[in-house]
Copies of this chain bind each other. A is one copy, B any other.
Amino acid sequence: MSTTPYQQLENRMARLGALNQATEVLYWDMAAMMPSGGGEARAEQLAALNAVVHSMMTAADLPDLMDAAEADVGLDAWQQANLREIRTRWIKATALSEDLVEALTRASAACEAKWREARPAADFKSILPQLGELLALVMEAGQAKAEKLGLGLHDALLDDFEPGGRTADIDIVFDDLADFLPDFTRQVLDAQANRPSVIKPDGPFTVDKQRELGQRLMDVVGFDFDHGRLDVNLHPFCGGVPDDVRITTRYDETDFTSSLMGVLHETGHAMYEMGLPAEWRAQPVGQSLGMSTHESQSLLIEMQVCRSAAFLEFAAPIMREAFDGSGPAWSSENLLRLYTHVEPGLIRVDADEVTYPAHVILRYRLEKAVLGGDLVLADLPGAWNDGMKELLGITPPSDREGCLQDVHWYDGAWGYFPTYTLGAMTAAQLYDTAKQADTSIEPGIAKGDFAPLMTWLRTNVHGKGRSVGPSELLSEATGRPLDAAVFKKHLATRYLGDG
């Protein structure tokens, strides 16, 4: 027995981490590669893996091992942080029985599969049984964690996506934004009406050429194709594992612009994963932080950088060349107008930067009502449509463009949505500081050199793994806690020219 209790824990976590990575690859395959008939067998594979991981995480001798490791005074700061992460995982894992974990995995797979039929059919009723079953299990799991963590149900669910995040804090920021945005949006629409209108580049844009262009700009951002791939999926996402990051997109042959920006968004996620501390790869402390930090990295690349005048001046000739384009539609000025066009719409993933928070606030408020018992699932479509009317002044023609549009609730990710807008604010704050800290960042972007930006992000965000929490990371990087004012200032500068 020459290994210390801490080392024994690390060894177990390494194996557990490898099994979690296997699960990630199977999830990517399920979305990007698997034929429809493989779903049942895949659900069994994922359930078996989850059950094994859960039983390792709830092993009877783990508490003693953690106690002994925590008594070790020779551990450095990263090892201590790793131990904290292990302890938190253990608390969450022991809150749930193995049966509940398996039931959740199965119900999530079943509901997601059903959603893939119900969404195109705009048939919310058909998915109610699966969604009801899944939500009951999500709430059972959330309640169990809430008791262990001394939190409310909604906070306990949120904590899985945003460590340390609390609904009381989110309410304040979201109510503030919900107050600010309607009037601001009207001002933006007025100002926009006085500028030249957007000219859409003429297609068709073949999938092959779109893929090539996407890969070229991923390369510019710094994506390493020896450690990752770009594929197709209906719901774009970033999956895989840090040494092998798989991003997906969907292509529209009549419009390349939205898929391309989606690819750059996922590339932001991918750069975060690729930049996690290599020496802590398999350990809990080496993983990415909460979802708001993850989303801050995708939105920093997409919203802060790639929709900026500086980047589009660099990228416009590359886009033009990719599709043999010519004429005013391909000027960087027109592409900037296109990529910063504001228009209240029904679909979150197509929303612009200004109206996006309304989509998130709607979902967050509905989640809160459902979890708090103030709204039953059967009434979700009506409540959705009322909320859209109130926040954005529009009503979905069917649930396909309404409460069926996103997969998240249907794969069990209740509590997830607010992280999008927390991420947008975090992105604004990080980029604002980065540009001041290294004045070569913005000129670099203008010539397609992302190295200065990536160096700053690797030092201040990516390389930290989970050695600190989201709010600590932001304070250390920017000198202050999350502050909506920076996000508002960014919006005012970009959309009203109030620099």
Contacts and interface: CB of A to CB of B under 8 A. Distances in A.
A52 interface: yes
- Majority DSSP secondary structure for residues of A touching B: helix
A179 B478 CA distance: 81
A378 interface: no
Interface in A9-23: 14-15, 18-19, 21-22
Instruction: Assign chain A's interface to a size class.
Output: 35 or more
Contact of A244 (B15, B19, B41, B46): B41
Contact of A41 (B21, B42, B47, B229): B21
A224 interface: yes
B37 A227 contact: yes
A34 B282 contact: no
A45 interface: yes
Interface string A95-132: 00000000000000000000000000000000000000
Interface stretch (A25-33, A74-82, A440-448): A25-33
A329 to B, nearest CB: 30
A241 interface: yes
Given A41-B244, A244-B41, A48 B35 contact: no
B25 A244 contact: no
Given A29-B29, A229-B33, A22 B38 contact: no
Contacts of A18: 41, 44-45, 47-49
Contacts of A26: 22, 25-26
Contact of A44 (B37, B38, B282): B282
A37 B282 contact: no
A173 interface: no
Nearest to A226: B37
A225 interface: yes
